Chain A
């Protein structure tokens, strides 16, 4: 299509009055000055990051505080060779009481 090959020429005819002038150039420069740069230092970002850091530190402190209060935290130190006094005595008492009870039951069953 021959006409399409004339598009540059045709455009020059019909839009030759449409030019990027000095006024538009000044507009661009003003807009560039008033727009924030992408790489610019942004206080909002810094404030957000600081807040997040503080929050994380507080969370760590809180979690470590909880940990020290838990029963699992009280570790009993039992040196090698030492005797555990309380448990065996208690167990002995329980066994004695249980055997007494069983004996009573057996006696009652034998003498109706």
Chain B
């Protein structure tokens, strides 16, 4: 008997297994960068893929990842807003790093940048992650976040300035 996970998702033709293998780690890492909490990042990844399985959205070939990341960012934003009180009372969660065993030595140089990105406010973090980490251009980010291209450009520029200040220790 064919299960749901064997059936193609929407019109993209990719099965759940293929989508999971291709994009779940990206979804998990973006959620982790956003929330700074591994458990919550896994919960968000779970919610995103459960939504994919249950709703069977129309995913055009080549647009699967952007749909997954859009849903991921929406879920992260909701979680971020709902945990506002806890964040204020308990403080910002520490951004724990997960280098592979053979990467521990090399990771030292990269820690500052990762932590600086994690400390950005959500609106800046979203555009930095989509542009610099996932490689989307301004027009694509504008479509994913449903904001004007000018807003995306402005946020990217301000995020860059903030990161420069942060990394210089100002």
List residues 1-26 of chain A with CB under 8 A from any CB of chain B.
Answer: 1, 3-20, 24-25
Q: Please report whether the interface of chain A is mostly helix, strand, loop or mixed according to DSSP.
A: helix
Contacts A7-B117, A27-B46 given; does A13 touch B106 at CB 8 Å? yes
Whether B132 pairs with A17 at a CB distance below 8 angstroms is no
Give 10 A-B contacts (CB < 8 Å), ordered by A residue. A7-B128, A13-B110, A14-B99, A15-B99, A17-B99, A17-B101, A17-B103, A18-B28, A18-B38, A24-B45
Question: B111 within 8 Å of A by Cβ?
Answer: yes
Candidates B50, B113, B117, B160; contact of A28 at CB < 8 Å: B50
Question: B4 within 8 Å of A by Cβ?
Answer: yes
Closest B residue to A29 by CB, please name it. Answer: B5
Contacts A1-B163, A7-B113, A24-B42 given; does A14 touch B97 at CB 8 Å? yes
Q: What's the nearest-Cβ distance from chain A to residue B85, in Å? A: 27
Whether A32 pairs with B98 at a CB distance below 8 angstroms is no
Q: Please report whether the interface of chain B is mostly helix, strand, loop or mixed according to DSSP.
A: helix
A residues in contact with B24, CB < 8 Å: 20, 24-25
Whether A10 pairs with B113 at a CB distance below 8 angstroms is yes
Q: What's the nearest-Cβ distance from chain A to residue B130, in Å? A: 11
Question: B88 within 8 Å of A by Cβ?
Answer: no
B residues in contact with A32, CB < 8 Å: 4, 49-50, 53-54
Interface residues on A, range: 20 to 34
B residues in contact with A7, CB < 8 Å: 113, 117, 128, 132-133
Question: A38 within 8 Å of B by Cβ?
Answer: yes
List residues 149-170 of chain B with CB under 8 A from any CB of chain A.
Answer: 160, 163-164, 167
Alpha-carbon distance between A37 and B25 when the two chains are bound, in angstroms: 25
Candidates A12, A15, A28, A37; contact of B32 at CB < 8 Å: A15
